[in-house]
Amino acid sequence: METTRADVCAAAVADAFRDDGEIFGSPMGTMPMLGVRLAKLTSNPDLVISDGESLFLHGTPPIFARADVVEGWIPFRKVFDVVAHGKRHVMMGATQVDRDGNQNISAIGPFDRPKRQLLGSRGAPGNTVNNRTSYWVPKHSTRVFVEAVDIVTGVGPKRAAEAGAARFNDIHRIVTNLAVLDVKGPDRTVRLLSVHPGVTPAEVQEQTGFDLGDLSDVPETRQPTSEELVLITEVLDPKGIRFKEVPKETTP
């Protein structure tokens, strides 16, 4: 069975949730949802998952499919109780991420006169100071990975420490269509953990708007196992919805 770049991304997202144990896996978007459900079926069966709207799921249905068995009800207002309690790992998108791991989904341009209005802060500030938080970026580029975000929506570790809010701040992983990163570089900056098959560290650096540091010994992101490929292609995403985010491209 052929492995695509999208499959590698799904496995990388799943690995981000591997060691969480019994926690609410809260993915936002196609690839995060696919990866969390893959983790639920493989490395972390204790994950609690939802339909992304208001229901806790008993089983692990295909992404965007109606759940056959519902385990509980979690309307939007109840999500904030889980956020405050901290037993949650959220994977959000990011319009911008800077070298300090701050995230922006609010607006592009100066705060008092932005050029583009985005989603707004939503739950990002609360997520990043209360829960483990990861990011999914479907198109790694210098427009996303910038020296400093225009508006801080999600709080990185350095800013959280300066504000006295570092106790539960945990920016865990940044998964993109090219690589996997975290914020455990020098002085709590973004560093490159692995590059996907067919991608070089130099190519990732070229698409990043700040220095990623030493790239001499960066490993390759693991490819999904045969079991994971079957789960991705036949169980969780038989319609190939993942290719809308990461175009179908077979890995070397």
Q: Following DSSP, what letter does each residue of 99-132 receive, concatenated?
A: TT--EE-SEES-TTS-SEE-S-STTHHHHHHHSE
Q: Which residues pair with 195 in a beta bridge?
A: 179, 220
The whole-number pLDDT of residue 250 equals 78
Q: 171 with 190: CB under 8 angstroms? A: no
Measured CA to CA in angstroms, residue 153 lies from 4, 58, 101, 124 at distances of 32, 33, 11, 6
What is the mean pLDDT of the segment spanning 112-122? 85
Cα–Cα distance, 31 to 235 (Å, whole number): 15
* Range list of β-strands (E), 107-245: 107-108, 116-117, 132-137, 145-146, 170-176, 179-182, 191-195
The pLDDT of residue 58 is 84
pLDDT in tens, 143-169: 999 999 999 999 999 999 999 999 999
Average pLDDT in the chain = 92
Please report the pLDDT score of residue 198 as a whole number: 95
- Measured at the alpha carbon of residue 211, what is the angle toward residues 154 and 30, in degrees to the nearest 5? 45
Task: Confirm if 31 and 138 have CB atoms less than 8 A apart.
Answer: yes
CB contact at 8 A, 139 and 157: no
Convert the pLDDT of each residue in 133-147 to its tens digit: 999 999 999 999 999
Determine which of 84-88, 91-95, 189-193, 231-235 has the lowest per-residue pLDDT on average: 84-88
CB neighbours of residue 57 within 10 Å: 19
Q: What is the CA radius of gyration of the chain?
A: 18
Q: Which of 245, 242, 192, 243 is nearest to 220 (CA)?
A: 192
Q: For residue 162, what are the CA distances in angstroms to 7, 84, 146, 184?
A: 38, 21, 21, 17
Between the alpha carbon of residue 245 and those of residues 7, 10, 87, the distances in Å are: 11, 11, 28
Domain chopping of the chain, boundaries: 5-244
The CATH code belonging to domain 5-244 is 3.40.1080.10
Q: How confident is the model at residue 22 (pLDDT cuts 50, 70, 90)?
A: very high
pLDDT in the model for residue 251: 80
